[in-house]
Chains A and B, each alone.
Chain A
Amino acid sequence: MAGFLQQVVQGLGAGAIYASLALALVLIYQFTGIVNFAQGELAMFSTYVAWQCMAAGLPFWVALPLTLVVSFAGGMLIERVIIRPVEGAPELTIVIVTVGLFIFVNAAAGWIWTFLIKDFPNPFPGGALELGGVSLSFSTLGVLGVVALVMGLLYLLFQHTKIGLGMRAVAANPASARLVGIRVGWTLALGWGLAATVGAVSGVLVAPLLFLEPNMMAGVLIYAFAAATLGGFDSPLGAVVGGLVVGVAETLAGAYVGFIGSDLKVGVPLVIILGVLLLRPQGLFGRAAVERA
């Protein structure tokens, strides 16, 4: 039993990371109906920015806010410069543009920082909390705590600020939002900025667990897709719940299903994506009627 719980805890730790990237995906999808295939790469790039700050001698807790600010500005800039021209274009076009962005950002990071792996410090202390035979590492607790914090802050932003109200209005009805005087273009850019910031958090959480390298997020991205699909692409809460479920499912499948083992775990998100899309395409928390043609 303790062994099982241990696996669940480990799965929640992994799931929290998937949740954070899924949250970034959902933020953009909500406002624009775009699935940003470059989200993981943007997160990776942000993580390099943090690494660069630390390499220049800044302590982690200074580098982090700096990175978040840079990511926010970068996200807004990308929306204004790269996404704007194809706004309202067919889905195929937009997907291809974000794939282009994926390739470009990945290669740009490789160009600037080379493809050699780099160590990234873990902001959380080592060691673990023993609880009834289950060990909760501070690192896992830290990751869960950060994701809860991000979720809480987003909730406050959306539900209790005027900017958040405007953003929800744009997500619900862009034409009508324009009519009440909301600058929809800037709101979309704001959404991209926020998504890039949340993505940066997820990159900084991933990097100490893996190594920092340009392809770091490629593996995480597919889990984040599964999480967002499971939770519903238009539900931030769904993204977090989906992320945790995917993390636990993956860990348990790897540990207890002999055939899957640790190497075929990456089949889990594929099965989840396919299953959800065929059985309940809007996901657990998504709204059904939204058919974005």
Chain B
Amino acid sequence: MSGPTKVDDTTAAPAPARKRRSGTIPARWRWIALALLLAAAVYAPFQLVPFHVFQLTMVLVYAVALLGLNLLVGHAGQISLGHGAFFAIGAYTSAVLVDRLDVPYLLTLPLAAAVAFLVGFGLGVPAMRLRGLYLALVTLAIAIFLVPLLKRFEELTGGSMGLTLPKPVPPAWSGLAEDQWLYFLALGVAVLAFLVAASLLRSRVGRALHAVRDNEIAAEVMGVRLSSYKTLAFAWSAMFAGVAGCVYTWVIGFVSPDSFTVNLSITLLAGLVVGGLGSLSGPVLGGLFVMFVPSISQDINDAAPGVIFGLLIILVMYVAPQGLAGLAGRLIKKIPRKE
């Protein structure tokens, strides 16, 4: 129960493990794996039926949102139980711009990102003065509050009925079907998001965030201006969620308040935890998880996805705090050693 020992644990345990992992897998192999993955991602929509292409598109959407959540939870160690709210803000920004102002849909992406970033920043200023638990409380309350708020501003948001939008039409030069075009849009956004996140984490900002996560007090002593980095992490994280929400609107063509209940926020956190906190591949695995676990297990029972998610989260926290990505990392580490 004593404070000091706990601090020691968090500083000692995760940091060296991460360093070791990136050290043992040769950079060359990682690039080859990444290239193969990307090639497979480009090839996939031409081999799958539209419904499966749609599912993969949604995986990418969730992956982008999880990437943002991961910045906050996995890298800065702050808990958000309300990230669905930023997802919703991005989705609604795009929808309202298209529906009310006839803005071309591609242009809504930077705008949705900007709005989510600003709202995240605005909320981040007070929220980031709060320690762990309380941030979780506040973000949860925000997520719950957003739904009636969206219903209230009916003229703008369409109230409970929501807004129905035309789906993006694939340009003639591409020769793609609608589902394929949406898929490539999502893929493009996802790749861009991953590049941005990766470079963000490699910069001194990333190091500052890790310092915040691993030891708040030490980070403060070392001169990391905690609250400003935490606020920025919150804002970036909100921005990624907003971007994901925007692409969601393109793909689904419909937004309504009840698509963005607190369940979405909790599902996102669950996906991230299972996928792997603090790793770059975690969000992709989490996205697969958020998409496919419900659609597969719902056949057994409506409640099955929740039961599976709930149990898995708890199990992951016991046995593999770095999630599926961490497990995969551990396996990969073992292979080269045997050779």
Contacts and interface: CB of A to CB of B under 8 A. Distances in A.
| Direct contact between A and B judged by beta carbons closer than 8 A | yes
- Chain B CB within 10 Å — which of A92, A104, A281 has the most? A92
A103 B317 contact: no
A130 interface: no
Nearest to A178: B1
A277 B130 contact: yes
A37 B141 CA distance: 12
A269 B141 contact: yes
B149 A273 contact: no
B309 A103 contact: yes
A20 interface: no
Contact of A96 (B129, B140, B148, B317): B317
A92 to B, nearest CB: 6
Contacts of B145: 264, 266-267, 270
Interface residues of A, number: 51
Given A93-B317, A110-B303, A277-B134, A104 B144 contact: no
Interface stretch (A81-89, A119-127, A198-206, A240-248): A81-89
Contact of A263 (B10, B152, B312): B152
Interface residues of B, number: 51
A22 interface: no
A35 interface: yes
B191 to A, nearest CB: 29
A100 B306 CA distance: 9
A111 B79 contact: no
Given A35-B136, A96-B313, A115-B302, 17 more contacts: A95-B79, A95-B132, A100-B313, A100-B314, A104-B306, A104-B309, A107-B310, A108-B306, A174-B1, A222-B140, A263-B151, A264-B148, A264-B152, A266-B144, A266-B145, A269-B141, A293-B3
Interface of B: 1-3, 6-7, 9-10, 73, 77, 79, 81, 126, 129-130, 132-134, 136-138, 140-142, 144-145, 148-149, 151-152, 217, 262, 266, 269-270, 273, 301-307, 309-314, 317-318, 321
Interface of A: 35, 37, 82, 85-86, 88-93, 95-97, 99-111, 114-115, 174-175, 214, 218-219, 222, 225-226, 229, 263-264, 266-267, 269-270, 273-274, 277-278, 281, 292-293
